Structure 1
């Protein structure tokens, strides 16, 4: 009985955020749709400014649950930019919570409405939001040979020409790192070999004991470190984004994230899912930021490939020291000064009340409920049709 009650309370922790965030989706999309129609004859910059403000409202509601509600402790290290800039945000990818971490940093720069993502192509089929993310400036990409460079350049240049503020989030690894997925880690090393980053005769599995010994020995000989806690980054999206916006950008933010669970003993574990995070299974997030001026980024693709890999070598060293340092004083933290950053309720609660109030008001009338259901149904169908036509 007691165990059942505990499990019930555990499940309730993420029920409220799920109901509010999913339940308010039709309200948000309706508000955006009305503004899209009203602004049809207005300059693009006016539409974009209001759209960014609407996006701020929704994302700050998200942050109410992912910061204030969970009580997670945010620890910041490295370069802590305070002013809004046009940037590319590059981070290690390990959890479905990673996109929220970008919001966590953006709201502290008053740039939350300017966050836009490079997304996996299959996410365009998300109900309601699949279409909206593209409208807000998100870019859906396919991997390898199916990557459409021309479309990405076209869209980014249109934003540059319109003077659209850019906080463009890219996860160069392309998929989430999981320490338990040895096949994925092996494939990552094979990809590095194919790209010429590692010697072509070293294609062995990363976690095979004999092969690993040979691999490490060879890397030591030629001075290339083995990536242990990150995957080999892919260059295409980063290169196209930088090349398309280099005269518009201020910097690149190289962000390294660690989710530290409450039972963590200093070992690298699988990062929390959204459900686990909302159930307060991750009391601390460590975020290291390196601000890189655009003049320090090589412009030619092959040089940028090597530069990007070097950035991930730095990430790997940070993570190795975090988890594996023989010095207990250096373990479970990044090097340098740490800033405890707590998000004020003033930044999130008003948006929660507005969005929840509008949704509740709509559901109190029969006409409102009908509009709500039709938005879910027809909005999803029209969104899927739109992204299909665009594809």
Structure 2
């Protein structure tokens, strides 16, 4: 009985991270809202600097759970610079953990507060955070003909003009690659064949719009593009078929998950500017990703399987980078909940913060 209870508790390891990450949300939004009001008459650059520090604090707490708490093994390949740069981050998209992997790389360059995402439009309805992510520099986009290039370009140009540090994360596939969704993969491959492009196996055919708009808006401000390929070890079944990667919840409950991350740093001068040529270039980059993933998942040689070519570095994140943020945010939240007035403020922040956030994104839409 005790063994069964222990196993059950172990399988529920995701409860603590979920409780802390959701529980501290009102605290974070209150801190940000207070700074937003205080900085109303101050230079916008000062507001952005402090906002980036606040964002770094929260995301450091996120990384405490997704790195230190899980004991994940991060294996880095390629050329990730030690110093932060203004970059566009292009990666394959396969799991709800992918945005955290961008943070995993950013924290190793002291650029965690500068991470901003190009996101699916429906994510703007997230309680509390939907509106805030846009305020922090996130860009919500719709697919196909509904994609608003002008809006994205205007927002990016505003950040460039203000000299805002940019670690812009884009997933060009537009939707997650799930090996169990055969129709989605077949449709993507059919589209590539129709357009005269190479058919890809382990990634979807990338779309060019967001990448082109981002590069065109930021080309004089960028240092480089990071072409990132991610593989999760242990996602192949007994028959050698690739399985769906772990979700955020599964990742937190998994036994020492292992992630392989390959980074190619591409100088901006090596990226074609015209859309038609950039489209071909982007597809070629995804062909390289596909070859890396074919070797990782399908190599007949067991010695080459479950690894990328080249030397890897086992990168461990120090508690000094994450634990202080956890203690600060959880401590402030606990302090608020200890008083009746604090509990009322906490609940009102959840309710009214969500309603006001939804109203704001509706007006912008």
Q: Settle same-fold status: TM greater than 0.5.
A: yes
In 1, Cα distance between equivalents of 2:105 and 2:186: 32
**Which of residues 275, 296, 302 is equivalent to 2:276?**
302
> Match of 2:219?
246
Instruction: Assess if the C-alpha contact under 8 Å between 2:74 and 2:258 holds in 1.
Output: yes
Instruction: Assess if the C-alpha contact under 8 Å between 2:117 and 2:138 holds in 1.
Output: yes
In 2, Cα distance between equivalents of 1:2 and 1:94: 37
> Match of 2:346?
372
Gap change, CA 1:327 and 1:11, over 3 Å in 2: closer
SS in 2 for 1:375: helix
In 1, Cα distance between equivalents of 2:196 and 2:228: 22
- In the TM superposition, what is the alpha-carbon distance from 1:11 to its structure 2 partner? 4.3
In 2, Cα distance between equivalents of 1:263 and 1:186: 20
Bigger shift: 275-284 or 248-257? 275-284
Instruction: Assess if the C-alpha contact under 8 Å between 1:272 and 1:282 holds in 2.
Output: no
Instruction: Assess if the C-alpha contact under 8 Å between 2:116 and 2:137 holds in 1.
Output: yes
- In the TM superposition, what is the alpha-carbon distance from 1:24 to its structure 2 partner? 0.3
> 5 Å matches for 1:213-292?
224=198, 226-261=199-234, 267-281=241-255, 283-292=257-266
> Match of 1:208?
none
In 1, Cα distance between equivalents of 2:77 and 2:281: 22
- In the TM superposition, what is the alpha-carbon distance from 1:331 to its structure 2 partner? 1.3
- Is 1:363 matched with 2:337? yes
In 2, Cα distance between equivalents of 1:48 and 1:11: 40
> Match of 1:173?
173
**Which of residues 349, 357, 360 is equivalent to 1:386?**
360
Instruction: Assess if the C-alpha contact under 8 Å between 2:235 and 2:245 holds in 1.
Output: no
Bigger shift: 308-317 or 325-334? 325-334
In 2, Cα distance between equivalents of 1:326 and 1:280: 27
RMSD of the alignment, in Å? 1.5
Instruction: Assess if the C-alpha contact under 8 Å between 1:116 and 1:169 holds in 2.
Output: yes
In 2, Cα distance between equivalents of 1:19 and 1:26: 12
> Match of 1:83?
83
Instruction: Assess if the C-alpha contact under 8 Å between 2:235 and 2:244 holds in 1.
Output: no
- In the TM superposition, what is the alpha-carbon distance from 1:81 to its structure 2 partner? 1.1
In 2, Cα distance between equivalents of 1:148 and 1:10: 45
Instruction: Assess if the C-alpha contact under 8 Å between 1:262 and 1:283 holds in 2.
Output: no
> Match of 2:43?
43
SS in 2 for 1:298: coil
CA deviations on 1:282-312 (whole Å, 9 max, x unpaired) are 6200000000000000000010000000000
SS in 2 for 1:175: coil
In 1, Cα distance between equivalents of 2:237 and 2:133: 35
> Match of 2:285?
311
TM-score w.r.t. the length of structure 2 is 0.97
SS in 2 for 1:13: coil
Instruction: Assess if the C-alpha contact under 8 Å between 1:36 and 1:47 holds in 2.
Output: yes
Gap change, CA 1:325 and 1:263, over 3 Å in 2: closer
Query: Structure 1 runs of 4+ off > 3 angstroms?
Result: 1-4, 262-267
> 5 Å matches for 1:321-336?
321-336=295-310
Instruction: Assess if the C-alpha contact under 8 Å between 1:258 and 1:286 holds in 2.
Output: yes
In 2, Cα distance between equivalents of 1:372 and 1:357: 14
> Match of 2:122?
122
- In the TM superposition, what is the alpha-carbon distance from 1:374 to its structure 2 partner? 0.2
- Is 1:320 matched with 2:291? no
Instruction: Assess if the C-alpha contact under 8 Å between 2:236 and 2:242 holds in 1.
Output: no
Instruction: Assess if the C-alpha contact under 8 Å between 1:26 and 1:372 holds in 2.
Output: yes
Gap change, CA 1:252 and 1:320, over 3 Å in 2: same
Extract unaligned runs of 5+ from structure 2.
Answer: none
In 1, Cα distance between equivalents of 2:236 and 2:296: 16
